[in-house]
Structure 1
Amino acid sequence: MPPEGLIALRHSSFSADSIYPRPLDAYGWSAELDDHFRSVTDAPTVPGRVIRVDRGRCDVVIADGDSGVTVVHADTGPVADPDPMRLPCTGDWAAVSVGAAGTFVQALLPRRTAMVRSSASQRSEGQVLAANVDTIAVVVSLDTEPDLGRIERFLALAWESGAQPLMILTKSDLAEDADAVRETVEQAAPGVDVLIVSATSGEGMDILAAVLTGTSVLVGQSGAGKSTIANALLGRSAMEVQQTRSDGKGRHTTTTRELMPLPGGGVLIDTPGIRGVGMYDASEGLQQVFSEIEELAEDCRFRDCEHVAEPGCAVIEAIEDGMLQQRRLDSYRKLVRENQWMASRSDARLRQERLKALKTQGKEGMANMIAKRG
C-alpha cells in the first residue's frame, strides 16, 4: 500500500465521533486508548501495536482499510531514549507515521501494565519484557524438578506488573506424578491458578485456550515448552521448536518476543528463555507471592521484626509449629534483600543523573552569562 493510502487510514477506518480503529479489535485496541492516541502527537499518524522489536526497528500492526490489518516495519529513532524502559517493547501501542521519507514510531501510548526485570547492565536499569499484558503465564516443565525459588521470582515480577499471573505445568505426558508436582507448586504460588497441560497429548489445552483472553505472555526457562505450547494454541507451527539438551537444560528456540493473534480471540506473546530473573522494584509483587508470611508478620511483637531470632516472632513460631516451610522464609528473605539492594542502586543512579543534569544546566547558564557580558 502506498504511504498516502496508509495516512488516509486515519480517517477511513474511524467513525466521525471516534478514532477507534475497528480492525485492531483483535489486537486489543479499546475505546479507552482513543484519548491517549489523540494526546501523544500532533503529527499525522495512525495507531498500531508493536508485535516485534529488533535493533532499533520494530514491526507494527496497523489498520488496513475498514476491515483488515497490515504490518509495517518502522524506525524507532523518534522515541529513542537512554532509559531502556522507555524504549518500544512488544505489546506497546504506538503512533506511527508513514510517508515518502519512511515509516517511524513517533510516540508510545502510556502502558497499562508492564513486566519488568533488572537488566544485565551495570547501571541497575530495568528491562521491559512485555507491555499491556493481561495474563503472564509462567511455564514450567514437568520433566524436571521444579525450581520453586525461580517460580517465586517470576511470580513476583508478574504480580508487580499489574497483570494476572498463571502457572502452566507442561509436558504432563512425561511426568510420573503431575498432581503431586502441582500441589508443591501451588504452595509457592498462593492465589495463582496452576494448570497441567501437554501439547503432545492435548491434556488441558482446551482449558488453557479458554483462560488466555486479552493479551497473554509466556515466560520461563529455555526448554520449558513455551514455543510448543504457543504452536498448539495458534494451531500452526509459528515458533521454532528444539529438543531439550541431554543434561536437562533448555535450548533457546525463540530469539525475539513476538505478538501473534490467537484463533479464539486475544493475542499471545512468546518470549525467549529467561535465565536471569532479577528483581526490579517488585516489593508489592513479593507481598503477593509471600502473602502468608506478610500476614503472619502482622502478629510479630516488633514492627521491624526480621524473623530471625526476635522474641515474639509469629513467623518463626509458624515454622516451629509446622505451619510454614523454612524454604519459603529463606526464599522470602533472599528476594526481599535483593529487591531492596536493587532499589537502592536505582535510587543512587537516579540521583547521579539528576546531579549531572543540574551541573550541565549550570555550565550552560554560566556560558550564556559570559556570552552576554562579552
Structure 2
Amino acid sequence: MSDPSRDAGLGPASSPSNTGFDAQQVVQDRITNRAFTEWYSEQQFQTNILEGQAYFNGPSPAKDPERHSPSRLLECHRKASYARQNAPREGTPPQGLFWIGSEFEEQVVVPFLQSITTPDTYVTNSLWIDAEIEAEGTQHTIRGSTDPAIVTADAEPLFVTEIKTTTSLDHLSGPKPHHRAQLYAYLYALDQEYDHSITEGMIVYGSRTTLDIKPFHVEFDPDVWERVVDWMRAQTEYEQAGELPPATPEREWECNYCSFKHRCGQADTPYTDIGIEGLLPVFDGYDRQNLREYLDGHVDRGARLTPTLAHQYPEFAAEYGTYDWSCSSCGESYGWDELDWDGDTDDLPFCPACIELDNLVTLSGPEADVQLNIA
C-alpha cells in the first residue's frame, strides 16, 4: 500500500502530526504578554488612522496653563500637572479599564438611552465643548467631549450624561466630586453656547462585574462651580510660575493608584518632589508604551534612556540613544553597556576607577532635572 503523504509530495518531516506539533509550539511560544500588548497597541494605531483620528497616535501635546480638560478638574494639583505636561508615566497603562469603559458606554448605555428616549428626541455619542471662563483677570479655556447626550432633531442638547465604570456600586451614595465637576463643565459650556437653558444631567456608574448601574441626577450648582473655577485658577497659576504644585489628593488611597507616585514621593523609593521633566534615575518601573510615548514627546529636547532602562529595553537604545553611567565621587563616566551588570537595580555596578583606589562607589544615571536640553 502506498504512503499518502509520499503520493502528495510530502516528506516525512511534513506529515500532519509533525506539522501540528510544530504549529502548536510556534503558537505557544508566541502567546506572551509582550506580544499581546504590542499587538493591541498596533490595533489601536490602525483603528485611529481608519477613523480619521491619527492625532491620537503618539504623545499628546503639553497643555497651555490656561487650558483645562473636564476630566482633570478637581484632581490632585500635582497629578494634574504631571499628566498635563507629559511627565513620564510609571507602571502599565490601564488599557483594560479604558476598553471596558468605552465598550460599556457604546454597547450598553447608548442602546439603553435610545430605547427610553421620547420619539421626538435622539441620542448622540458625544458633543464637543469649547468655552471661556474669566477668573481674576485670566481667561481660561475648557475643551473636551461629553459622554452620550439626549438631543433634538437639530442635534441641540437637552440632557447630558457622564458614564463611569467601577468595580463595585455597594458604597456609592452620590457622585464623586471630580465627576460632578466634569459634568458641570459640560453643562456650563453648553448653556453658554445654546439659546435654551441646559442645567441638568446625570452621572451613571456601571459595575464592571455585574453590569448593574447606579444613576445620580445632577443639577448645575453655581456655588460648587465657583470652587471648580478656583481650582482652574490655582492650577493655571502654578504652571504659569513653573512651580511644582502641592500634592493634594482627595483621598490618601488615591496615591497608591497614581501613575506618578514614585516621582511625587508617595512610594517606597528614594524619590520625592521630582519635577515634570526627565526619567527617574536607576528606576525600571516604566512600561514599554509609556516610555516610548515619553521619548517620542521629548525627542526634540534630547530625551534619551537612562543606563538602567537601556538594559531593560536595549532595542530602544539604538533608536533614542542613552545616557552614560556616572560616578558622583571621581566624575568618571561609562557607556551603558561597558560594565558587567545584570540589570538588578538593587545591586548597581561599582565605579571601576574608584575600585582601583579601594573605594566602592556605585554608579548612577543622570538626575531627572538635568536630562533634557532645557532652554
More strand by share: 1
**TM-score, normalized by length of structure 1?**
0.23
**Higher Cα Rg, which structure:** 2
| Greater RCO structure (CA 8 Å; 6+ sep) | 2
**TM-score, normalized by length of structure 2?**
0.23
